[in-house]
Amino acid sequence: MLVLLPPSEGKAAAGSGAPLALDGLVLPELGPARSRVLDALVTLCASGDEDRAAAVLGLSPGLRGEIARNTVLRTAPTLPAGELYTGVLYDALELSTLSPEAYARAERSLLVFSGLWGPVRISDRIPPYRCSGGVKLPPLGPLGSYWRKETAAAMQRAAGGGLVLDLRSSAYAALWRPQGEVAGRTATVRVLHEREVGGVVKRTVVSHFNKATKGRIVRELLESAAEPESPAELAEVLRELKYTVEAEAPAAGKAWTLDVVVSEL
């Protein structure tokens, strides 16, 4: 099983390890593509035009310090990606408290998609940075379309012949889209909050708790040592883990959507 995760806006403040080694990241064939994005980002942030850099990166006034941080990414101390990201999903996943066996499974099966690095393992060492997947980075253009082209072959191989559980948000799902036969064994998850309002049962899509629920799902799958081989098997495993799951087989060549229904947030 391959699990695709988004990064988080929340990040650790600093690393403490050796500087970046692009050839040490997962899928090393993506090294040249990563280097081009890194060069473009450093050039933008070192240009001296802070207003332009902030506009391109979508930074609020309070985050302008990230521009200077981006200029030294090649020499900055690094830390494992699993320790770098600190957002809601990662808080719920609690990688540091997984059992040794579950953590080993996480190192094998989790891929985090980044606007700067593309896909990385949780053990890949990278420095703190600021560059979201929705950025249009000159001269490369939209990073979604840039990475979609660059990752096509590498991710096809990484997906192998097993289940792909895609938990990425839309901005990061654009960096690689499963196609054809791989799409048919890909599952996405939608978290729905079910509650009664004025005697009528309603369901709504939630945001914050969507991320937390996905983090808990990944954690429980890792700790359970379950190895579902298809979206249908995944739905059954989640039901065994006491989740309410609704799913229907899609048309051939389309990804499955698993609706996880929660009554408490």
Its pTM stands at 0.95
Question: pLDDT tens-digit profile of 153-176?
Answer: 999 999 999 999 999 999 999 999
Over residues 193-205, mean pLDDT: 78
Q: How confident is the model at residue 265 (pLDDT cuts 50, 70, 90)?
A: low
pLDDT digits (tens, 9 = 90+) for 225-241: 999 999 999 999 999 99
User: Assign residue 117 a region: left if phi > 0, alpha if psi is -120 to 50, beta otherwise?
Assistant: alpha
The pLDDT score that the predictor gives to residue 234 is 98
Residue pair 87/137 in contact by the 8 Å Cβ criterion:
no
**Cα atoms in the 13 Å half-sphere on the side-chain side of 71:** 12
The pLDDT tens digits of the residues spanning 104-116 come to: 999 999 999 999 9
Summary mean pLDDT of the chain: 95
Q: Residue 197 above 80 pLDDT?
A: no
Instruction: Reply yes or no on whether the pLDDT at 216 is more than 90.
Output: yes
Q: Where are the alpha helices (DSSP H) in the chain?
A: 31-45, 50-57, 65-70, 81-84, 88-93, 100-109, 143-159, 170-173, 180-184, 208-224, 231-240
Res 147 pLDDT > 90: yes
pLDDT at residue number 206: 72
What's the rounded mean pLDDT across residues 42-69?
Answer: 96
Q: Determine the average pLDDT of the residues in 204-231.
A: 92
User: Which amino acid belongs to residue 144?
Assistant: G
- DSSP H or E stretch at residue 207: none
pLDDT of residue 209: 81
